Amino acid sequence: MIALSVNLNKIALLRNSRDAANPSVTEHAAMCISAGADGITVHPRPDQRHIRASDCFELAPLLGVEFNIEGNPLAGPCKSQRERVGDYPGFMELVKATKPTQCTLVPDGDTQLTSDHGFDLKKDGDRIAPLISELKQLGIRVSVFMDPIAEQIELARQIGADRIELYTGPYADAVRENLNTDRVFGEFCSAAQLACDIGLGVNAGHDLDLNNLQKFAKLPGLLEVSIGHALTIDAIRIGLANAVVAYQECLSK
């Protein structure tokens, strides 16, 4: 079965807009799990615009499901501009301290609004490989955020990744615009099959929603999807628990 990991970034963003304790990230994680979520995902960034380092420490001991921390492994420590927020210790230090089930490495920069491309491992592979090894020695499964490009996927295997997470923005765009959907989906199918053939697990995420997930769930070897933005929007409309159930139904669960 395909696991649904709920990304809580937007819950944290709402909280931070008032610099208050509500909505509680930990309480909403518990609500998602109670409704049937298979995992919880967070993506802390150095500016702590949504998920903060402190959220990761609070979530880590509470979850009885998979905990997935996403982020740029090359991001170093950063001083907070607000005392109550706390400093960002650097991505690798944060992951080593909290020891999530899975760590997803994403090449996002400080100026990016959201993740919008996978790693170029021809450029960054030599820097990423020892970090992957370090995480795996701690018993953390490592996934690398990737575009559906065969050469890059083969490099992910060579540098020691356990899984890839396919960046699904182009697929979501194709469905939304009703343009070349079958061709784009075919490209993702080919990429996923290659990953399976060389021993990599396949995750996916970004802009997956109730309109496009059911088709994408037919991707060969798909193990997990991470969904946050669209699920949060649907939660406003139908309630958080109902939204989790609706996404699980798209995954035939």
Q: Name the catalytic one among 50, 165, 206, 224.
A: 206
| Per-residue pLDDT tens digits for 98-137 | 999 999 999 986 665 566 678 999 999 999 999 999 999 9
The predicted structure's pLDDT at residue 83: 63
- Distances 91 to 43, 64, 98, 105 between C-alpha atoms, Å: 10, 23, 11, 10
Compare 9 and 79 and report the one with higher pLDDT: 9
For the chain, the farthest-separated pair of C-alpha atoms sits apart, in whole angstroms, at: 50
Q: Which CATH superfamily is domain 3-250 in?
A: Aldolase class I (3.20.20.70)
Distance spanning both ends of the chain, measured CA to CA: 8
Instruction: Give mean pLDDT, residues 84-88.
Output: 81
The predicted structure's pLDDT at residue 20: 82
pLDDT band at 174 (very low <50, low <70, confident <90, very high): very high
Instruction: Kindly report the pTM of this predicted structure.
Output: 0.95
Q: Return the domain boundaries, the chain.
A: 3-250
| Per-residue pLDDT tens digits for 241-250 | 999 999 999 9
The predicted structure's pLDDT at residue 113: 59
CA 204 – CA 14 distance, rounded (Å):
25
Q: Name the catalytic one among 43, 50, 187, 224.
A: 43
Classify 182 as helix, strand or coil.
Answer: helix
pLDDT at residue 238 is higher than 60: yes
Cα four-point dihedral sign 181, 146, 89, 92: positive
Contact 110, 73 (CB under 8 A): no
Residue recorded with tokens 């018993």: 139
Please say if 206 is a catalytic residue.
Answer: yes
Q: Which amino acid is at 124?
A: D
Our measurement of the distance from residue 131's CA atom to the centroid of its chain's CA atoms, rounded to an integer in Å, reads 18
Q: Name the catalytic one among 50, 70, 165, 224.
A: 70
CA 237 – CA 234 distance, rounded (Å):
5
pLDDT band at 81 (very low <50, low <70, confident <90, very high): confident
Contacts of 203 (CB under 8 A, 6+ apart): 104, 143, 163, 164, 165, 166, 222, 223, 224, 225, 226
Cα four-point dihedral sign 64, 50, 203, 89: negative
What mean pLDDT is reported for the chain? 95
Torsion-angle region of residue 224: left (phi > 0), alpha (psi -120 to 50) or beta? Answer: beta
Contact 216, 208 (CB under 8 A): yes
pLDDT band at 55 (very low <50, low <70, confident <90, very high): very high
